[in-house]
Amino acid sequence: MFIKWLPCAFLLVLTLPAVAQKGQKKEARPIATPAQGAKPAHAAGKPEFSLPVQGLTDDDAAAVEATLAGLTGEFYECTGCGHAQPTPGECKGCELDLTQTSGPVFQKAVADARKGTVTFHLAKGQEVRLSRIQDALKSDDVSIEREKLPLPPQAVLVFEGAASREDATALQGALRAAKVPGAVAFPAPNANAIFVRLQGGSASWATVAQVGSELQPPLHLQDLIFGAPGSHGDPHAQGAKGGKKAKGAKGAKGAKGGKAD
């Protein structure tokens, strides 16, 4: 009799651990929480610009910061979602016309005499020219060392001396031959100048200025615009507008056909 039930008992012993394991509750994994003091992703990704300067001392660092904090500028904001940009237009998400408003140019500006730099974050929707910052710093006897200035990605350079598309094409080719990363040159709208947008990487004011000066006719690097991408006649922004116009053109073509009938 014992021998008859031996196989069943053996199978029962084998299944007991599995049943016990199934009945156990899984240990809850700890929920990951952000580290204390960690910045949100959108804040961490906000561009920071740093300018090498001369004449900055510990005594006037606070005055320099106050001067920059007092700069204001106009920008355009959507009343629906709060999107803001330096140039007028329409909010793509809300399809509302942007409203002109004004506010501080800088969200934050820090003058560091030890490092010899002025570092800043632009406020929402704002842009600013290097020449305007330089004019503001003159009141505190501080100047920007342009020759040492690293050009940030997505900056817009302003060249004067010519304004044709052929000159822009020549400048773009020369910059790329000089290994200035992602340079895109185009005639400045409503201005006798050429804009160059840097798409990434790094380059210096001195390098870019030399490339322009060696062209015929020579082009002179005069200014730098810090601000949101897509403004100032950027080809990518123009392409977006072109798509919208194409839709209208199609409608006009249809209306023309109807008139012919």
Q: C-alpha distances in angstroms, 33 versus 38, 52, 178? A: 10, 38, 47
Residue where a domain terminates, one of 125, 143, 161 = 143
| Average confidence (pLDDT) over 191-208 | 85
Residue 106 in domain: yes
Residue 64 in domain: yes
What confidence score (pLDDT) does residue 196 get? Answer: 93
DSSP state of 110: E
What confidence score (pLDDT) does residue 128 get? Answer: 94
The amino acid at 259: K
Cα–Cα distance for residue pair 252/131, rounded to 1 Å: 44
Is the pLDDT assigned to residue 96 strictly greater than 60?
yes
Is the pLDDT assigned to residue 148 strictly greater than 60?
yes
Q: For residues 61 and 128, state if they share a domain.
A: yes
Residue that has been written with the tokens 């350079």 in this structure: 157
Q: For residues 161 and 196, state if they share a domain.
A: yes
Q: pLDDT over 90 for what percent of the chain?
A: 57
CA torsion angle for 48, 49, 50, 56 (degrees, to 10)?
-100
| Average confidence (pLDDT) over 232-259 | 42
Residue 150 in domain: yes
CA torsion angle for 19, 21, 24, 28 (degrees, to 10)?
-150
Q: For residues 137 and 173, state if they share a domain.
A: no
- H or E segment and range at residue 65: helix 61-69
Backbone torsions φ then ψ of 86, nearest 5 degrees: -75, -20
Q: For residues 150 and 227, state if they share a domain.
A: yes
Residue where a domain terminates, one of 101, 122, 143 = 143
Residue 248 in domain: no
Confidence of residue 161 (pLDDT cuts 50, 70, 90): very high
Q: For residues 234 and 183, state if they share a domain.
A: yes
Confidence of residue 232 (pLDDT cuts 50, 70, 90): low
Residue 84 in domain: yes
My answer on whether omega of the bond before 217 falls inside 30° of 0, hence cis, is yes
Cβ–Cβ under 8 Å, residues 155 and 198: yes
- Per mean pLDDT, which of 66-75, 84-93, 184-193, 194-203 is the most reliable? 66-75
Residue 247 in domain: no
Q: Residue 175: which of 191, 194, 161, 189 has the closest Cα?
A: 194
Sort residue 7 into left (φ over 0), alpha (ψ -120 to 50) or beta.
alpha
If one counts every other C-beta atom within 10 angstroms of the C-beta of residue 222, the result is: 16
Residue with more model confidence, 156 or 15: 156
pTM: 0.70
Residue 39 in domain: no
Q: For residues 138 and 220, state if they share a domain.
A: no
The amino acid at 88: P
| Average confidence (pLDDT) over 90-95 | 92
Mean pLDDT, the chain, whole residue set: 78
Domain that holds residue 233: 145-242
Note the pLDDT tens digit of each residue in 42-89. Answer: 333 457 899 999 999 999 999 999 999 999 999 999 999 999 999 899
Residue with more model confidence, 36 or 153: 153
Note the pLDDT tens digit of each residue in 106-121. Answer: 999 999 999 999 999 9
Q: For residues 127 and 155, state if they share a domain.
A: no
Confidence of residue 201 (pLDDT cuts 50, 70, 90): low
Give the HSE-up count for residue 7: Cα atoms under 13 Å, Cβ half-sphere.
Answer: 1
What confidence score (pLDDT) does residue 191 get? Answer: 82
What confidence score (pLDDT) does residue 46 get? Answer: 57
Q: C-alpha distances in angstroms, 116 versus 33, 68, 95, 160, 205? A: 38, 16, 45, 29, 17
Q: For residues 158 and 229, state if they share a domain.
A: yes
Cβ–Cβ under 8 Å, residues 96 and 46: no
Q: For residues 93 and 175, state if they share a domain.
A: no
Q: For residues 87 and 130, state if they share a domain.
A: yes
Cα–Cα distance for residue pair 197/181, rounded to 1 Å: 10
Residue 259 in domain: no
Q: How many domains is the chain partitioned into structurally?
A: 2
Q: For residues 133 and 69, state if they share a domain.
A: yes
The amino acid at 176: R
Residue where a domain terminates, one of 143, 177, 196 = 143
